[in-house]
Amino acid sequence: MGALPKRKVSRHRRGNRRQHLALTAPTLVICPKCGNLMRAHVTCQDCGTYKGRQVIAIATKTTDNR
pLDDT of residue 66 exceeding 80, the answer is no
d(CA 49, CA 58): 10
Amino acid identity for residue 66 in this structure = R
pTM for the complete prediction? 0.56
CA distances from 27 to 15, 21, 36, 55 (A): 25, 18, 13, 21
**pLDDT for 59 beyond 90:** no
**Per-residue pLDDT reduced to its tens digit, 9-37:** 999 999 999 999 999 999 999 999 899 99
Domain layout of the chain by residue ranges: 25-58
Please spell the DSSP secondary structure of 32-58, one letter per residue.
TTT--EEETTS--TTT-EETTEE-SPP
